[in-house]
Structure 1
Amino acid sequence: MKGATFGEVFAVKEFRVLFGSFVLLIAGDVVKMLALSVLVYARTGSAGLSAAAYMAGWLPFVVGGLFLLSLADRLAPRALMIAGEVVRAVTCLVLAYADLPVWALLALVLATGLFSPVFMSARTAMLPEVLPGDAFVLGRSVLNVASASAQIVGLAAGGAFLAATGPSGALAVTSALSVVAAVVLRVGLPHRPPRVAREAGRMLSGWSGAVRETLRVNRRLVGDRRVRGLLLAQWLPCVCVAGAEAMVVPYLGGQGQAGMVLAAAAGGMAVSEFVVGRFARPELRERLSLPLAVLLGVPWLGFALAPGIGWASVLAALGAAGLAYQLGLQRRFVDVVPEETRGQAFGLQSAGLMTGQAVGAAVVGALGEAAGPGTAIAVAGGAGVLVALALAGVLRPQALTAEARPSRAG
């Protein structure tokens, strides 16, 4: 099968709109959480509360992913994405200028973040509709590269805005980026109806109905052996690498050098996503899933030898390059998920990934307290290799492609 090209992907106007708004979203979120962390630290002097503020944007994915994802298939995608940008813009302005106490700041971020998985799911589920076939996989690759690049740019820009305007000014800039993204989405995307008609989704009559429907579909998705296998394959190896990355700062003694190692990891991921997505044919891309998943863990084993900043950066870049293994799973995931629950399926994948990364960071962090950061990083890498080998039956393409696609009616 012939692979898609970047020219074919960017020739689609709707993808260009999704791409541009996604870059604004990621960069804005990085600036927002960095500014909030600095704001909390300036008010409290507590490193723990500052770290909690930085992670607060991730935590709602757990609750939102469990209880609200059905909305992604039962509301119009453009309206959901615009609503997400408006909520983010208003939230940033309140954080910047309402002079709320710290507990209220964190509560606001947690409460408004509950719907983040729904907004993100609407965007991701729209990709197969605007980019059919292998173009969808390349589109995911482009967004992954953009995500890594936007995080690096967002951290640099966030630091510059914080130095020039303080945390309130940086939050105001983030609000402006969200307004721009909302306008881009409104002007650039045509209206698309929900994947499930309103009459067919009576759960919209109340929040309790939305929760029940989300739980029902989540059980249905996880109960399908093929979907469950692909979800685990996308979650578990990343849990281990997240734990390893969480130990980079204490490994380097809290020095600014950690930023170089983490930037190298982001760069390794971006390069690998670009190369595998663009130059590997679809069949090869799927065959690479297992070796790349193993690669995800192997370089982190080298931290047992206490490398310096240079070798640590190389090892982190090589390890993160293995994240391209997920590209070989994307088309198979779309094939086994019923179309009418596609939004919720992508939301469940994202929510599980975010949750798993937080758990992995906590577990490896506890190990680092007991055995030292270098040992903890090496153990996380070894666990990643073992997990990848244990999932070999799913990561090999013949395990799932031999089965028939599910009925779209069920």
Structure 2
Amino acid sequence: MTTQERGATYTEVFASREFRVLFGSFTLLVAGDQVKMLALSALVYARTGSPGLSAAAYMVGFLPYIVGGTFLLSLADRIRPRALMVAGELLRVVTCVLLAFAGLPVWAMLVLVLATGLFSPVFGAARSALLPDLLPGDAFVLARSVLNVTSAGAQIGGLAAGGAILALAGPEGALAVTAGLSVLAALVLRFGLPDFPARNAGVDDAGGEGAVRETLRVNRALLADRRVRGLLLAQWLPISLVVGAEAMMVPYLGNTAGLALAAASVGLAAGNFVVGRFVSPTGRERLAFPFAVVSGLPLLAFAARPGLAGAALIVLLATAASTACQLGLQRWFVDAVPEPVRGQAFGLASAGMMTGQAVGGALAGAAAELTSPHTAIVLVGAATVLCSLVLHRSLRGAGARPA
């Protein structure tokens, strides 16, 4: 049995020194971001006493993805990945120091986070595009699974650590800790990762387009390609709708919603770990379509108005299935996109997913306003199943370029 048939193992993935560097820096990044946004929210609340502004401060770091993903993603292929990722960490250091110690008014703090966040999709795209080069074939898919599990764990750990740091050192101290984590991540990347060349270097030397124009052109080309467009929609829609259902947990469960949302994080980690580790590469791809459909089916059970335990189990199952579906699409996506613009393609997938999740939450909220929270979740579940059926060709790999 070949490695591709049996699937990669964690031992093989972590045997790559370069992946260990990316794994360590990514863990620091996710945990640090959770601490930063929590500290910013606390700082804004301390200065204004406004719960609304505090909530806006916590969410503002996610908003720039649509702008950065639309206009700046070509930088992920035009700049050497190590330099780009180190620059991202240093930019985070400067942002945290200014937020903590510059005495900025609240509006200036929010503008600063928005402006620096425009480049977040670019930094993430550089990391994602590097993985298939370091770990080809199924090892790449398992590496993505590892980072997804790490993201879920680091988010929970970062929030827990952030709360403790806030209690001990206040918002300014928590932001200083985040800056320190970013300095550490920058050092890990600078001295642990080889200086790989830019994937699409020499564009400017050839008299080509600027970064914004090229980003728009390549995004149009990727979306015009039927195979790529189908795989992007398959990555965006089912999981975005499931996240939209999760957004209804607070109005549905009230103060106990945190337990159901924690169950969603468990589902994310479980789906990645179980399917990534114990299902063969061809099995994951064969199951992508059933998992997409199954991700919507449990949500229909909200028609029976389950209690906390039932709601948590439903959300766990839906999240695990939608996450497992994503793993089955990864090799097809790498094979379908042109290698010189792989960074931008991964960035577009990530930016679209972030945007889609925000839209999914907004649509679920609008449905709840017209009906009720539990009815909105049922409608989202039905929409997830319908979208999966419409996208069945892409979810079955039809038209994907052979590996």
Q: In 2 relative to 1, CA 378–163 (structure 1 residues): closer, same or farther, beyond 3 Å? A: farther
Q: In 2 relative to 1, CA 203–51 (structure 1 residues): closer, same or farther, beyond 3 Å? A: farther
Determine the structure 1 residue equivalent to 2:391: 391
CA distance in 2, matches of 1:289, 1:106: 39
Choose from 37, 43, 53 the match for 1:39. Answer: 43
Determine the structure 1 residue equivalent to 2:313: 314
Equivalent residue runs for 1:28-177 within 5 Å:
28-177=32-181
Query: Is contact 1:295-1:385 (8 Å) kept?
Result: yes
Matched, 1:13 2:14: no
- Quote the RMSD (CA, aligned, Å): 1.5
Determine the structure 2 residue equivalent to 1:408: none
Equivalent residue runs for 1:164-203 within 5 Å:
164-198=168-202, 200-202=203-205
Matched, 1:225 2:229: no
Deviations 1:105-130 (A, max 9, x none): 11000000011111100000000010
Q: In 2 relative to 1, CA 116–60 (structure 1 residues): closer, same or farther, beyond 3 Å? A: same
Query: Is contact 1:332-1:400 (8 Å) kept?
Result: no
Q: In 2 relative to 1, CA 41–377 (structure 1 residues): closer, same or farther, beyond 3 Å? A: farther
Unmatched segments (≥5 aa) in structure 2: none
Superposed displacement of residue 305, structure 1:
2.0
Deviations 1:177-231 (A, max 9, x none): 1111001001110111101122x344999xx811111111111111111000000
CA distance in 2, matches of 1:161, 1:304: 41
Letter in 2 for 1:341: V
Query: TM-score scaled by structure 1?
Result: 0.94
CA distance in 2, matches of 1:172, 1:52: 21
CA distance in 2, matches of 1:355, 1:104: 24
Query: TM-score scaled by structure 2?
Result: 0.95
Superposed displacement of residue 343, structure 1:
0.3
Q: In 2 relative to 1, CA 203–156 (structure 1 residues): closer, same or farther, beyond 3 Å? A: farther
Structure 1, 362-371 or 130-139: larger mean CA deviation? 362-371
Query: Is contact 2:238-2:292 (8 Å) kept?
Result: yes
| SS at structure 1 position matched to 2:45 | helix
Deviations 1:113-168 (A, max 9, x none): 01111110000000001001111011101111111111111111111112222222
Deviations 1:225-244 (A, max 9, x none): 10000000000112211211
Query: Is contact 2:335-2:402 (8 Å) kept?
Result: no
Query: Is contact 1:203-1:209 (8 Å) kept?
Result: no
| SS at structure 2 position matched to 1:100 | coil
Letter in 1 for 2:119: F
Determine the structure 1 residue equivalent to 2:250: 249
| SS at structure 1 position matched to 2:62 | coil
Unmatched segments (≥5 aa) in structure 1: 406-410
CA distance in 2, matches of 1:59, 1:330: 25
CA distance in 1, matches of 2:306, 2:103: 45
Deviations 1:264-296 (A, max 9, x none): 111111011111111111110101101111122
Superposed displacement of residue 304, structure 1:
2.5
Query: Is contact 1:77-1:192 (8 Å) kept?
Result: yes
CA distance in 2, matches of 1:134, 1:201: 35
CA distance in 1, matches of 2:206, 2:83: 18
